[in-house]
């Protein structure tokens, strides 16, 4: 066989054999790579405080317009020239004469009607006496009586026409506008002046569907007028049907006005709602979940697991908010470093005493959402609890 192999072929085979030997020897002597060591994920550290629900009476504050209790336009019942009229700003009493129109020949008309009544009365009396003696018929007597009643009706019409030249106040109030000045001719039905009654004032507000069931007629209401002046009122009317465009209910609040506050101001109306249990918290504790719901993180019963609890704000003030949706007793997370998630395991410490304002009892000295501030607070919590850094509570 050797005669069939050339020298070049032998050299090539030798090289191939050497490479196989060299590669195989390297694979046999190669050490296995070390197995990856598990990465220890540190447990997040938070501070929490116990919050207990308290009974509160929530209030709703709504803005509305203040209008007069009543506005009346005095109109002429007959035509004529305005001979007398009160001035603008006059304080009128119901039934008081405010303007007078020219009488023209109306007084003469009354006199003629009175004379006609006298003549008809005499004719009727004569017919009655003749009827008693049987001289005249019953039909004649009834005709004279009809003439008498007609004369009396014409007298009443003439007297009313004369009376209508005297215009009286339909309500008690202030003359806010004089429309027809002295010397102006007005037709029957023409406007002469306007009267406004501002005591009481009426505040009109729109109440939401979720709050209308807590409002009742006669309920007390707080009122703050534009400019800061305060007053007390009461609910006098609740619309039985919602406004279609807004799905709110119109409510009228009656406000006594002995001091003469003008109508047309804007005002904030405060109404008490139904009492309920709520937690007092700082607004800084409110968070949003992935679904866009507002809530707070609380510590579960096992003392190491976080739960996101959706809440509803029932009252808000500058220093705190009151929320529902939590258990009556809940450990609320007050301070944390980094983002939190529902179901997360954490190490929990008590909120340091000097930072209890975070729950809304007072103004918080720092922003708990600030990472640097959170680190300082959690460091203070660690210092206050020996061994807290080594154990999960």
Same domain, 256 and 299: no
Which CATH number characterizes residue 125's domain? 1.10.287
Which CATH number characterizes residue 221's domain? 2.40.30.170
Same domain, 146 and 114: yes
Extract the tokens encoding 386.
Answer: 């020996």
Same domain, 298 and 377: yes
pLDDT at 299: 92
- Residue 22 belongs to a domain: no
Structural domain boundaries, residue 222: 61-67+198-272
Work out how many domains the chain is built from and give that number: 3
Burial class (CB in 10 A: 0-12, 13-18, 19+), 219: middle
Same domain, 261 and 244: yes
- Residue 171 belongs to a domain: no
Q: CA 198, CA 262: separation in Å to the nearest integer?
A: 7
Q: CA 151, CA 169: separation in Å to the nearest integer?
A: 31
Q: In this model, does residue 211 exceed pLDDT 90?
A: no
pLDDT at 314: 85
Same domain, 148 and 214: no
- Residue 7 belongs to a domain: no
Last residue of a domain, one of 211, 239, 272: 272
Same domain, 377 and 303: yes
- Residue 31 belongs to a domain: no
Same domain, 243 and 284: no
pLDDT at 368: 47
Same domain, 281 and 361: yes
DSSP 222-281: EEEETTS-EEEEEEEEE-SS-BTTTTBEEEEEEE--TT-PPTT-EEEEEEE---EEEEEE
Instruction: Calculate the alpha carbon distances from 230 to 205, 218, 222, 234, 257 in Å.
Output: 17, 19, 8, 14, 11
pLDDT 10s digits, 149-187: 888 898 888 888 888 889 889 899 999 999 888 888 988
pTM: 0.61
Burial class (CB in 10 A: 0-12, 13-18, 19+), 14: exposed
Last residue of a domain, one of 272, 298, 319: 272
Which CATH number characterizes residue 335's domain? 2.40.420.20
Same domain, 360 and 280: yes
Q: CA 84, CA 87: separation in Å to the nearest integer?
A: 10
Same domain, 329 and 349: yes
- Residue 347 belongs to a domain: yes
Q: Of 235 and 335, which is predicted with more confidence?
A: 235
Q: What is the DSSP letter of 22?
A: H
pLDDT 10s digits, 265-289: 899 999 988 888 999 998 888 888 8
pLDDT at 201: 93
- Residue 23 belongs to a domain: no
pLDDT at 25: 60
Q: What is the DSSP letter of 3?
A: G
Q: In this model, does residue 27 exceed pLDDT 90?
A: no
Q: What is the DSSP letter of 105?
A: T
Mean of all residue pLDDT scores within the chain: 81
pLDDT band for 332, please (50, 70, 90 cuts). very high
Q: In this model, does residue 327 exceed pLDDT 60?
A: yes
Q: What is the percent of the chain with per-residue pLDDT over 70, rounded to a whole number? A: 80
Q: In this model, does residue 37 exceed pLDDT 80?
A: no
Last residue of a domain, one of 113, 145, 164: 164
Same domain, 288 and 371: yes
- Residue 33 belongs to a domain: no
Are the CB atoms for 381 and 350 separated by under 8 Å? yes
pLDDT 10s digits, 222-256: 999 988 889 999 999 999 999 888 899 999 999 99
- Residue 155 belongs to a domain: yes
Instruction: Calculate the alpha carbon distances from 167 to 84, 149, 175, 177, 340 in Å.
Output: 10, 28, 13, 15, 77
Query: Span 276-303, mean pLDDT?
Result: 90
Same domain, 300 and 356: yes
């Amino acid at each position: 066989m050797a005669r069939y192999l050339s020298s070049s072929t032998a050299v090539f085979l030798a090289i191939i054999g050497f490479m196989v030997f060299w590669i195989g020897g390297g694979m046999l002597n190669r050490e296995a790579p070390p197995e990856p060591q598990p990465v220890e994920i540190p447990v997040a550290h938070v501070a929490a405080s116990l919050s207990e629900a308290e009974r509160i009476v929530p209030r709703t504050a709504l803005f509305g317009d203040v209008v007069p209790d009543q506005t009346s336009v005095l109109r002429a019942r007959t035509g004529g020239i305005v001979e007398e009229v009160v001035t603008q700003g006059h304080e009128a009493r119901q039934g008081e004469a405010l303007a007078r129109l020219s009488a023209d020949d109306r007084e003469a008309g009354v006199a003629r009607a009175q004379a006609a009544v006298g003549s008809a009365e005499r004719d009727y009396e004569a017919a009655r006496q003749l009827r008693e003696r049987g001289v005249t018929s019953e039909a004649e007597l009834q005709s004279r009586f009809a003439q008498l009643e007609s004369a009396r009706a014409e007298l009443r019409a003439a007297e009313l026409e004369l009376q209508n030249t005297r215009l009286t106040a339909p309500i008690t109030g202030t003359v806010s506008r004089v429309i027809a000045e002295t010397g102006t001719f007005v037709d029957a039905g023409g406007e002469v002046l306007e009267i406004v009654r501002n005591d009481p004032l009426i505040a009109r507000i729109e109440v939401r569907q979720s709050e209308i069931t807590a409002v009742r007629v006669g309920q007390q209401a707080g009122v703050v007028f534009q400019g800061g002046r305060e007053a007390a009122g009461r609910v006098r009317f609740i619309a039985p049907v919602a406004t279609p465009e807004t799905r709110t209910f119109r409510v009228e609040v009656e406000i006594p006005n002995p001091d003469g506050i003008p109508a047309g101001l804007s005002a904030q109306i405060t109404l008490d709602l139904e009492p309920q249990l709520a937690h007092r918290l700082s607004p800084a504790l409110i968070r949003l979940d992935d679904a866009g719901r507002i809530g707070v993180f609380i510590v579960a019963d096992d003392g190491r697991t976080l739960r996101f609890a959706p809440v509803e704000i029932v009252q808000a003030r500058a220093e705190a908010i009151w929320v529902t949706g939590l258990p009556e007793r809940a450990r609320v997370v007050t301070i944390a470093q980094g983002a939190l998630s529902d179901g997360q395991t954490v190490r929990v410490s008590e909120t340091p005493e000097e930072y209890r304002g975070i729950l809304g009892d007072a103004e918080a000295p720092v922003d708990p959402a600030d990472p640097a501030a959170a680190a300082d607070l959690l460091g203070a919590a660690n210092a206050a609890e020996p061994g807290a850094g080594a154990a999960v509570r």
